[in-house]
C-alpha cells in the first residue's frame, strides 16, 4: 500500500511540475528545473508572426582597407517625422572581418512599424566613436501596401 501511495505522490508531483513548466514557457520565462526529468516543449507560432527580418550586404564604391578594429553598425530608422529628424528603432553592430561585402541581419518586432510610416536603413563604419563611412537607403517594409499620394 505504501508503494502505491508513493507512486501516486510522485506522479502528482511530476504532473504539477510539467504544468508549471508549460505556464512558464507560455509567459516567455524559461527556468531550469533540476528536481524533475519532465520536459515539456511547446512551440508558440504567434512569436514567429510578431517578428520580421531585414538582411543584405554592405559594399563600398571604392576599394579600401579598413583597420582591424573597425565595426559596421546597421540601423533601422523611422523617417516619418522629418521635422524631428529620424528615430532609431534598432541597430546591430558587426566586427568587420576580411574584404567586403559585409552581411547584416536585423530582426525587428512588427509592432514597431506602421504601413503609414517611412523607413530607411543606415550603415556606419566606425573606428571607436569616429564614423569613417556612412550610407543610407530608403526601405519599403510593406511592399504590398497601397501607396497614397
User: Residue with C-alpha cell 531585414?
Assistant: 54
How much is the pLDDT for 83?
73
How much is the pLDDT for 72?
94
Write phi, then psi, for 71 (nearest 5 degrees).
-130, 150
Question: DSSP H helical segments within the chain, as ranges?
Answer: 2-26, 45-49
How much is the pLDDT for 126?
95
How much is the pLDDT for 94?
95
How much is the pLDDT for 143?
66
> Nine-digit cell at 93?
553592430
The model carries a pTM of: 0.62
**pLDDT by 10s per residue, the chain, length 149:** 444 333 333 333 333 344 433 333 333 333 233 333 333 334 444 445 789 999 999 888 777 788 889 999 999 999 987 777 789 999 999 999 888 888 999 999 999 898 888 999 999 999 999 999 899 998 888 766 544 33
Write phi, then psi, for 86 (nearest 5 degrees).
-100, 155
* Residue 70, number of CB atoms within 10 A of its CB: 18
What does the angle CA 134 – CA 139 – CA 90 come to, to the nearest 5 degrees? Answer: 65
Amino acid at each position: 500500500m505504501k508503494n502505491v501511495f508513493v507512486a501516486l505522490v510522485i506522479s502528482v508531483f511530476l504532473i504539477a511540475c510539467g504544468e508549471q513548466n508549460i505556464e512558464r514557457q507560455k509567459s516567455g520565462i524559461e527556468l531550469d528545473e533540476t528536481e524533475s526529468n519532465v520536459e515539456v516543449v511547446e512551440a508558440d507560432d504567434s512569436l514567429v508572426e510578431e517578428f520580421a527580418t531585414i538582411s543584405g550586404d554592405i559594399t563600398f564604391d571604392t576599394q579600401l582597407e579598413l583597420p582591424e578594429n573597425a565595426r559596421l553598425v546597421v540601423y533601422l530608422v523611422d523617417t516619418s517625422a522629418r521635422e524631428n529628424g529620424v528615430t532609431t528603432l534598432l541597430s546591430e553592430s558587426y566586427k568587420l572581418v576580411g574584404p567586403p561585402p559585409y552581411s547584416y541581419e536585423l530582426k525587428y518586432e512588427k509592432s514597431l512599424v506602421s504601413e503609414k510610416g517611412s523607413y530607411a536603413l543606415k550603415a556606419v563604419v566606425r573606428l571607436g566613436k569616429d564614423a569613417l563611412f556612412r550610407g543610407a537607403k530608403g526601405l519599403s517594409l510593406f511592399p504590398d501596401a497601397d501607396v497614397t499620394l
